[in-house]
A = this chain, B = another copy of it.
Amino acid sequence: MSKKVLTVGEILVEIVATTKGDGFLEPQPLVGPFPSGAPAIFIDQIGRLGTPAAIISRVGDDDFGRLNLDRLIADGVDVSGIEVARGEATGSAFVRYRPDGSRAFVYNIAHSATGNLTLTPDAEALMESCDHVHVMGTALSAPGLSQVAREAVARITARGGTLSFDPNLRPEILDTPGLREALDEVLAQTNLFLPSGEEIYLFTEADDEAAAVKELLDRGVGDIVIKRGNQGASHFNRAGRTDVAPLSTDEVDPTGAGDCFGGAFVSFWLAGASPETALRFANAAGANAVTKVGPMEGAATRDELDALLGQSEG
């Protein structure tokens, strides 16, 4: 039977500015709400690939919460661990791309429904039914989310389950009190580590990539995947290194691509695929994601990934 993947973390809507520029100091054309939240995008990609998947989170009893629930349910994700909080608002992120490709955000997360997550009986029951847990660094930056995420890690690993970890940290949250300790605690139990680019150095003394990878493998991380955005990706374990070249795409909106990459990699890795196979499909999932406006809109089905890979490999 397929292993079931659990994640804990924020569910948001995302509103995207349709012009480039710096921030939201004047009225401008927008498009949204899109279902969002890095853990939600990750788990939606898992669900679309047909791998059993669940998320523990919290939304308001408003259209923005409903929109996310509807999407996750449609893609096969178990939403029994999502609490609908009466009278609270679903979290939101407004994003605008600057001309240089960087992003300006206005967030409502910490004081939204998702920021007030606590451990519920439904969430506890869900932890008992899952075989793998995936942690995003963003989920460790708010006290309630962090506590529940670490509880999920403790319970699932105690039962022999596995743990994957994507730091996914925006620089502005690295100073959050307690975050560093939580990250270290999670890394110490990580089987599969999925940093983006420079994040490989977050937990190492080494400052070149090969040495950083060796340091992490020596500390017991079994598999490491470095996501390099439009430069492809690399997998490392004791058996060696595997690289995959980027697929050429018409990039429309890079938000969510790393989460879709991660979801696809975890799906194939858990199913026992070789690093090369898992990396190829993950790479295709990331490439597919950037072609759609909206962070979760580009989560791909197996058929879509097969088509994309068949086409690029002729």
Residue of B nearest to A87 (CB): B110
Indicate whether A100 reaches chain B with its CB closer than 8 angstroms: no
Q: Please, how many angstroms separate the alpha-carbon atoms of A26 and B108 in the complex?
A: 19
Number of A residues, CB within 8 Å of B: 33
Annotate A17-47 by CB proximity to B: 1 below 8 A, 0 otherwise: 0000001111111111110000000000000
As for how many copies of this chain the complex holds, the number is 2
Indicate whether A112 reaches chain B with its CB closer than 8 angstroms: yes
| Chain B residues positioned under 8 Å from A24 (CB to CB) | 33, 63-64, 67
| Chain B residues positioned under 8 Å from A112 (CB to CB) | 89, 108, 111
Shortest distance between the CB of A67 and any CB in chain B (Å): 5
Do A108 and B108 have beta carbons less than 8 Å apart?
yes
If A64-B106, A88-B111, A92-B108 touch, does A30 touch B27 (CB 8 Å cutoff)?
no
Q: Please, how many angstroms separate the alpha-carbon atoms of A26 and B64 in the complex?
A: 9
| Chain B residues positioned under 8 Å from A87 (CB to CB) | 110
Do B108 and A63 have beta carbons less than 8 Å apart?
no
Q: Please, how many angstroms separate the alpha-carbon atoms of A239 and B107 in the complex?
A: 53
Do A32 and B30 have beta carbons less than 8 Å apart?
yes
| Chain B residues positioned under 8 Å from A66 (CB to CB) | 25
Shortest distance between the CB of A66 and any CB in chain B (Å): 6
Partner of A67, one of B26, B67, B88, B297: B26
Beyond A89-B110, A111-B111, 10 extra complex contacts between A and B, CB < 8 Å: A24-B63, A24-B67, A25-B70, A27-B32, A62-B107, A64-B106, A89-B106, A92-B92, A92-B108, A108-B108
